Chain A
Amino acid sequence: MSPDFLMIGSFGLLLLAGVPVAFALGLAGAVGIVTGLSPDMLAALGTNTYNSIAKYPLIAIPLFILTGLIFERAGVAARLVRFAQALIGPRHGGLALVAVLVCLIMGGMSGSGPADAAAVAMVMLPSMTRAGYPRPFSATLIAASASTAILIPPSVALILYSIVVPGVDLRALFAAGLFPGILAGVALLLPAFWLSRRHGWEAPSEVERPALGESFRQAIPALFAPVLILGGLRSGLFTPTEAAVAAVAYGVVVGLFLTRELDWRELWRLVGEAATISGVVMLIIALAGIFAWAGTMLGTFRHLAEWLITLSDNGAVLLTLIMIAVLLAGMLLDAISIYLILMPILIPVMQHFGWNPVWFGILLAMNIAIGQYTPPVAVNLMVTTEVAGIRLEQTLGWALVFVAAMAIALLLVALFPPIALWLPGVLGYNV
């Protein structure tokens, strides 16, 4: 058997056996090295593990994870919900609209979805349930809406994409993610709205409406956070890493002095939580470095890319195939792993067909966002179903509805690239 095959095969087996993705990548890389290169080269497990993560741009990842945690724990989700409720008022589907809207705004403060999903679910699920929405529906809707956090800047997945794909400007990626993220939110909202009306969830009279002015005043600090992050990047005042640390500082001020829901002890705990989550994400990056090194030295990625290109001369056909493959991968794997495993194979294909790397990165991100709420492995759904006290299997039907909805948004961005590329162009970034 060829070392290529042994490496990829052992990776698949280890994944199925429930070995953590990071270790599966490292061990499969070691298998490739031993069978295809020389056992001496296992030394890559020292050198390349270290090199893969000792990179300055990666510092933005723990900082944006911390930003998200701080804002969630600072109680901004509840304030955003009250403001959105005051704005929208009780009507069929009103709370569904509130949930989607709040997830989108929370996505503008955090770099990845699961924590957003948990925060919004905790605030919204009780009132949605009281208003008559079935728990599995609410849990799935929130999980799906929270997945837009990796599209709406800041985004941990897009930071990684800009590092893996040489020459792509992270600011352009961040700007390009905004409208596809909003579009995805709208795509989720339409079926949610229609279902609410059809089933008569949330009768217009049943829910009390908060005062608009007061709830707006309370929501201002939260609404300002995405403005600070995007505006700081746009004005050239901040680099992405600096934007991340500015956002952390702002969140600390909001939590300690404005909402006063944080104290120093809690802050220390949150930093530890952010470090732990970062450890999970970054360990995958470290050990994917071994997998990538072995795949490069063995020529595995080169062969796979060449094989992919022979499948079809037609770019549209190949793009469709790639998107289906990523969708399937997204059922099982997380965003970071998918980027790291697939990009060495897909970059040559992207260059072969001359696809715009920013647009392609956004398409992948949308696809991977869908993966965050497709069973069986669905990080966002896992947290919302836990909050809702239901089993993951109960959400399957609703999940299919929302997968189809966001897939349509994905198709639109694929057919009309300006949805992604217009904003970075207007802001003057190279796309």
Chain B
Amino acid sequence: MKPQPDARLERVLATLALVVIALISFANVVVRYVTDASFAFTEEISVFLLVVVTFAGAAVALRRNGHIRIGLVERALPPGPRRVLIALQGLAGLVVLGLITGYGAQMAWQEYHWQSLSPGLGVPQWWYLVWLPLLSLAMLVRLVQQTLDRLRGGLDDES
């Protein structure tokens, strides 16, 4: 296999988030069985980190063209029409990620404006929510990079 393009920043972020999830969960099990105490209220943080894992991890996969999709039609096409199709695929992703980024930012801004608090720890809710538009924007950038690579014929297209 030839070396795959990387989204280093998101990869490090996703890796760190998953490491912290594993450490919190593991510490919780150990502490609960050893001391009968627990810090179950930290579940809010684990759930937030899961969101980071998801979108940062998805950005890495996006850079590598690694998302699950059906490549049948694409592979059957001659190079010219295939490039058109790749551009259209890029456009479809762009619309979805654009909507998520825009409405995610709106959601985070509204919760900031209305001063909503998180249900578990009572911290400002936007601290968590703002990562959706940020990471969605990162995905959008990776999508553009990936689409340009593929249009230049630089990425394998089997899926």
B54 x A66 contact (CB < 8 A): no
- The 3 A-B pairs at the shortest CB distance, nearest first, are namely A279-B57, A46-B103, A20-B67
Known: A18-B74, A45-B100, A62-B18. A279 touches B59 (CB 8 A): yes
**Is there a chain B Cβ closer than 8 Å to A178's Cβ?**
no
Known: A21-B67, A55-B47. A275 touches B14 (CB 8 A): yes
Q: What class of interface size applies to chain A in its complex with B?
A: 35 or more
- Taking A46-B105, A47-B103, A244-B25 as given, write out 7 further A-B residue pairs in contact, using a Cβ cutoff of 8 Å, ordered by the A residue number: A59-B25, A62-B50, A66-B22, A249-B26, A272-B15, A279-B61, A282-B53
CA distance A16 to B159 in the complex (A): 13
**Is there a chain B Cβ closer than 8 Å to A24's Cβ?**
yes
With both chains docked as a complex, state the minimum distance between the C-beta of B111 and any C-beta of chain A, in angstroms: 10
Per-residue CB contact flags for chain B residues 51-68 toward chain A (1 = under 8 Å, else 0) read 101111111110010111
CA distance A15 to B85 in the complex (A): 12
- Specify which of A21, A22, A279, A284 lies most central, judged by the most chain B CB atoms within 10 Å of its CB: A279
With both chains docked as a complex, state the minimum distance between the C-beta of B88 and any C-beta of chain A, in angstroms: 6
With both chains docked as a complex, state the minimum distance between the C-beta of A18 and any C-beta of chain B, in angstroms: 4
**In-complex Cβ contact of B66 among A49, A275, A280, A286 (8 A):** A280
B21 x A283 contact (CB < 8 A): no
Contacts of B47 in A (CB 8 A): 54-56, 59
Known: A17-B85, A22-B67. A279 touches B15 (CB 8 A): no
**In-complex Cβ contact of A278 among B57, B66, B100 (8 A):** B57
With both chains docked as a complex, state the minimum distance between the C-beta of A38 and any C-beta of chain B, in angstroms: 14
Per-residue CB contact flags for chain A residues 8-25 toward chain B (1 = under 8 Å, else 0) read 000000111111111110
**In-complex Cβ contact of A50 among B19, B59, B74, B104 (8 A):** B104
A245 x B29 contact (CB < 8 A): yes
With both chains docked as a complex, state the minimum distance between the C-beta of A118 and any C-beta of chain B, in angstroms: 12
**Is there a chain A Cβ closer than 8 Å to B148's Cβ?**
no
**Is there a chain A Cβ closer than 8 Å to B89's Cβ?**
yes
CA distance A49 to B58 in the complex (A): 13
B14 x A332 contact (CB < 8 A): no
Which residues from chain B sit less than 8 Å from chain A, CB to CB?
11-12, 14-15, 17-19, 21-22, 25-26, 28-29, 43, 46-48, 50-51, 53-61, 64, 66-74, 85, 88-89, 92-93, 95-97, 99-100, 102-108, 129, 132-133, 158-159
- Specify which of A46, A55, A275, A332 lies most central, judged by the most chain B CB atoms within 10 Å of its CB: A275
With both chains docked as a complex, state the minimum distance between the C-beta of B83 and any C-beta of chain A, in angstroms: 12
Contacts of A241 in B (CB 8 A): 25
With both chains docked as a complex, state the minimum distance between the C-beta of B142 and any C-beta of chain A, in angstroms: 11
CA distance A47 to B106 in the complex (A): 10
CA distance A284 to B28 in the complex (A): 29
B106 x A43 contact (CB < 8 A): yes
B104 x A16 contact (CB < 8 A): no
Known: A42-B99, A283-B55. A242 touches B25 (CB 8 A): yes
CA distance A272 to B66 in the complex (A): 14
- Specify which of A56, A59, A277 lies most central, judged by the most chain B CB atoms within 10 Å of its CB: A59
CA distance A26 to B100 in the complex (A): 9
CA distance A261 to B142 in the complex (A): 33
A17 x B11 contact (CB < 8 A): no
